[in-house]
Amino acid sequence: MALTIMTKQRGVNKVEENQFEPRIVAFMCNWCTYGAADLAGVSRLQYPTSIKPVRVMCSATISTHHILRAFQSHADGVLVGG
């Protein structure tokens, strides 16, 4: 994800791109979300490399400890998919 900023300098529009890519930890249910991510890989669809998938047996087993630990490990966002 790139943030695009338009600036005007001497009457000329200039596009600046901020290359901030958030680091996202994705807790994916083995039976639902992880299967979809695996299918996307088999279909050669691309998703950002800043997303780190973590396979869990069920999304209901994710506790707040896991989410807080991801943020302590410098993640910018957490996705719990089920």
Residues in contact with 73: Cβ distance below 8 Å, sequence separation at least 6, in sequence order:
25
Per-domain residue ranges for the chain?
22-81
Question: pLDDT at residue 80 above 70?
Answer: yes
Question: Under a CB-based contact definition with an 8 Å cutoff, are residues 67 and 78 in contact?
Answer: yes
Using alpha carbons only, give the angle 30, 35, 38 rounded to the nearest 5 degrees: 120
- Say if CB 67 and CB 59 are below 8 A apart: no
Contacts of residue 10, Cβ cutoff 8 Å, sequence gap at least 6? none
pTM, two decimal places: 0.70
Q: Which residues are 54's β-sheet partners? A: 27
CA–CA separation, 56 and 80 (whole Å): 10
Residue 48, pLDDT score: 82
**What digits encode the pLDDT tens for the residues 21-63?**
899 999 999 998 888 888 888 888 888 889 999 999 999 999 9
